[in-house]
Amino acid sequence: MFYLKRTVLLAALASTSTVTFANDVTLDEMVVTGTRSESSLLDLAGNTGKISEQEIDLVRADHITEVINRLPGVMVQRGNGQEHLTSIRSPVLTGGAGAGSFLYLEDGVPMRAAGFANVNGLFEANTEQAGGMEVVRGPGSALYGSNAVHGLVNVLSRAPSLDLERSIDVSVGPHDLYKFKGTVSDTIGNQAYRFSLNGTTDGGWISDSGFDQQKMMFRHDYYGERDTFKTVFTAANLNQETAGYKEGFEAYKNTAESKINDNPEAYRDAKSARLSVRWDHELSDSSSFSLTPYARHTEMNFLMHFLPGTPVEDNEHDSVGLLAAFAKELEGGHKVIIGTDFEYTKGSLSEVQTDPMTYTFGKYVPGVHYDYDVDATVIAPYIHTEWQLAESTRVTAGARLEHTRYEYDNKTADGLTGTRIYRPADRDDTFNDFSPKLGLVQALTEDTSAFINLARGNRAPQTTDLYRQRKESNNVLQADSETVDSLEIGVRKVGAGIQYEVTSFYMKKKDYFFRTRFDNNVPDGKTKHYGVELSTFIPLSEQFDLGGSFTFARHQYEFDNNDASIVDGNDMDTAPRHIGNIRLGWNFMSQSRAELEWVHIGRYYSDEGNAHTYDGHDLLNLRATHQVSPQLAVYGRVSNLLNTEYAERADYSGFAGDRYFVGEERGLHVGASYSF
């Protein structure tokens, strides 16, 4: 059985060397995230959207938003430089809620420790040279724990090539934007490797801004008689001069003024490195186990331009972990996976207000605001089962128990400084969260299936929610584990001809910890989320096709809060009811493609009280790639083709009023890729 598996794997590797664009926007029939191993999309009880390797090479994104927002239910908003905020079956979430509600993975391994997540976490992944990205909307399965609440993103490393592959790729764009990518890969006997690196320098389209970023990935695969090993090492470095929000009602419409950086001192410096080794051992034709030890390091220093004054944050953490699983295929088509995830993390954070002035009646006083260490331990056993009840009916059931313990050490004075900054005394906190899942898949035809999925997502609080406290009305508000209960019903068709997936969902969340526009804590918010998502691919002829996604959703508060003018039934802020991405593709030669893309963002409220709005926007982008010869490809794109004035993000602050991350004007990008 193993040699058959190896033959299939090598065939898959060989296919990565062939450039074709005819199917690059179709619904992929195989995915890996749902069960941590390759499985058919038709058998999946739940949704998984996929960005293929070919799509990544076609889009050649300068920012993650340009490629991931092609999926339904996903709206990642770009900040300045490489910053971003995420929405997956949710409003765009910020702070601890934004960091902790989405799980970012690299080949199934979390890119950050659960309680130490980064709201901008996707800039740490080498998405530019990935082998694909998979997005699960809503709670993850029992195989994934904290942070997989509203969704998860799994960035897949690009597989090694079967034959020697060497290529370089260079491109240029507006405002002194230059990119370089290089890769070398080969398979020698029963071992294969790929080494990829890329670098970007961007002068910034807003004055006194820009960034330099470097990323690298090394992957080594070994195929034995009963054992396979996949070793992946990734690293990233970012040095960014940040342009913060542009303040003033509809400030993004003043083209000249919007290019002036009102926060010239803002910056972000970040480094990260991760190493994982996955060992799969075949015990018999029907059973196997996998062990994935891993280690990570992250560090970041940045000026918090979104708060009054000039507060500077330093944070870092180091982790070691192990993902362990045993899989057994039973007679009758049944399957059981039993596993446990372990992780230990040492982290630290400091926040210092460097401005000598006192802000907002003593709320943000000069000096040290926070300085603490946290040791975190996570142990999470789980079970995932699949039962073939009939030839066309399959049931999935699973559960996960996650134990999280934080050991907090305050390194500055306990208690209150100023009128708001509160540092808890040393303490330990423990959280135990249970996440069940039940799904059913009904095959309708050979290429069509319907599914129902019930799931619960949990997450322990972020360490910043617990230990970077704000004191209000003589009360210190305690964060608790956040819980989302989700029901989704869908139908999908894959294969030849028209392909589609239509999914409806309903979710309710409790113990939602967030901060209002006045930077006040709310520890026990309740919300509901419901909507319909559509993704489709329609071949129009041999050369033309139409693909895209559309989402209609409502995200609403289910409680009252006078401080933020929240009324039960209000729309959550930064939650457009409809978003869309439609693409007309033209395969004008066998290995060449052009694409016209329409991006639609609907109107949304920019504050919790629904008193301020952003009207939304529509953008057109045009891109094309042409294979001049087997060795040389040239490509280009025009972003914001109609030169629309728009905001990447609209926000309303209790301190500054309306503020925006201004969208870029029309820009031309060109480049070339050479293989040798």
What is the pLDDT, as a whole number, of residue 143?
A: 87
Between the alpha carbon of residue 497 and those of residues 55, 338, 422, 464, the distances in Å are 19, 38, 60, 49
Gyration radius of the chain's alpha carbons: 24
The count of C-alpha atoms lying within 13 angstroms of the C-alpha of 470, restricted to the half-sphere facing its C-beta, is: 15
DSSP structural state of residue 566: B
Q: What are the tens digits of pLDDT across the range 456-505?
A: 999 999 999 999 987 765 566 688 999 999 999 999 999 989 999 999 99
Give the pLDDT band (50/70/90) at residue 1: very low
SS3 sequence of 240-296: EECCCCEECCCHHHCHHHHCCCCCCCCEEEEEEEEEEEEEEEECCCCEEEEEEEEEE
Strand partners, 318: 297, 346
- To which residue do tokens 């066309």 refer? 392
DSSP structural state of residue 122: G
Does residue 3 surpass a pLDDT of 60?
Answer: no
What is the pLDDT, as a whole number, of residue 49?
A: 94
Question: Residue range 71-79: average pLDDT?
Answer: 96
Tell which wins on pLDDT, 175 or 654.
Answer: 175
What is the pLDDT, as a whole number, of residue 18?
A: 36
CA distance 294 to 110: 10
Give the pLDDT band (50/70/90) at residue 28: low
Question: Residue range 123-137: average pLDDT?
Answer: 96
Does residue 161 surpass a pLDDT of 90?
Answer: yes
What is the pLDDT, as a whole number, of residue 6?
A: 44
CA distance 378 to 342: 6
Does residue 411 surpass a pLDDT of 50?
Answer: yes
Give the pLDDT band (50/70/90) at residue 656: confident
Does residue 19 surpass a pLDDT of 70?
Answer: no
pTM value? Answer: 0.94
Between the alpha carbon of residue 598 and those of residues 125, 538, 620, the distances in Å are 26, 16, 5
Does residue 280 surpass a pLDDT of 50?
Answer: yes
Domain range list for the chain: 2-675
What is the pLDDT, as a whole number, of residue 7?
A: 40
Q: What are the tens digits of pLDDT across the range 351-365?
A: 999 887 766 656 778
Question: Residue range 641-665: average pLDDT?
Answer: 93
* CATH T-level topology, domain 2-675: Maltoporin; Chain A (2.40.170)
Region of poorest pLDDT, from 177-186, 302-311, 355-364, 514-523: 355-364
Question: Residue range 408-415: average pLDDT?
Answer: 96
Does residue 9 surpass a pLDDT of 80?
Answer: no
Coil, helix or strand for 131? coil
What is the pLDDT, as a whole number, of residue 650?
A: 96
What is the pLDDT, as a whole number, of residue 530?
A: 98
Spatial neighbors of 484 by CB under 8 A, at least 6 apart, are 138, 139, 149, 150, 456, 457, 458, 507, 508, 509
Spatial neighbors of 8 by CB under 8 A, at least 6 apart, are none
CA 497 to chain centre: 30
Q: What are the tens digits of pLDDT across the range 190-218?
A: 999 999 999 999 999 999 999 999 999 99
Mean pLDDT, all residues of the chain: 92
Spatial neighbors of 46 by CB under 8 A, at least 6 apart, are 34, 136, 138, 141, 439, 451, 453, 455, 488
Tell which wins on pLDDT, 110 or 34.
Answer: 110
What is the pLDDT, as a whole number, of residue 2?
A: 38
What is the token pair recorded at 464? Answer: 């910043």
Q: What are the tens digits of pLDDT across the range 503-556?
A: 999 999 999 988 888 777 888 899 999 999 999 999 999 999 999 999 999 999
What is the pLDDT, as a whole number, of residue 354?
A: 86
Give the pLDDT band (50/70/90) at residue 564: confident
Does residue 24 surpass a pLDDT of 90?
Answer: no
Give the pLDDT band (50/70/90) at residue 13: very low
Region of poorest pLDDT, from 276-285, 373-382, 558-567: 558-567
Question: Residue range 610-617: average pLDDT?
Answer: 97
**Residues above pLDDT 70, as percent of the chain:** 94
Coil, helix or strand for 631? coil
Does residue 316 surpass a pLDDT of 60?
Answer: yes
What is the pLDDT, as a whole number, of residue 475?
A: 64
Question: Residue range 404-414: average pLDDT?
Answer: 97
Does residue 673 surpass a pLDDT of 90?
Answer: yes
What is the token pair recorded at 113? Answer: 């420790």
DSSP structural state of residue 358: -
> Quick one: which of 138, 191, 123 has its CA closest to 162?
191
What is the pLDDT, as a whole number, of residue 257?
A: 87
CA distance 152 to 146: 10
What is the pLDDT, as a whole number, of residue 360?
A: 61
What is the pLDDT, as a whole number, of residue 29?
A: 78
Q: What are the tens digits of pLDDT across the range 220-272?
A: 999 999 999 999 999 999 999 999 899 999 999 987 888 999 888 899 999 99
What is the pLDDT, as a whole number, of residue 355?
A: 83
What is the pLDDT, as a whole number, of residue 308?
A: 81
What is the pLDDT, as a whole number, of residue 5?
A: 42
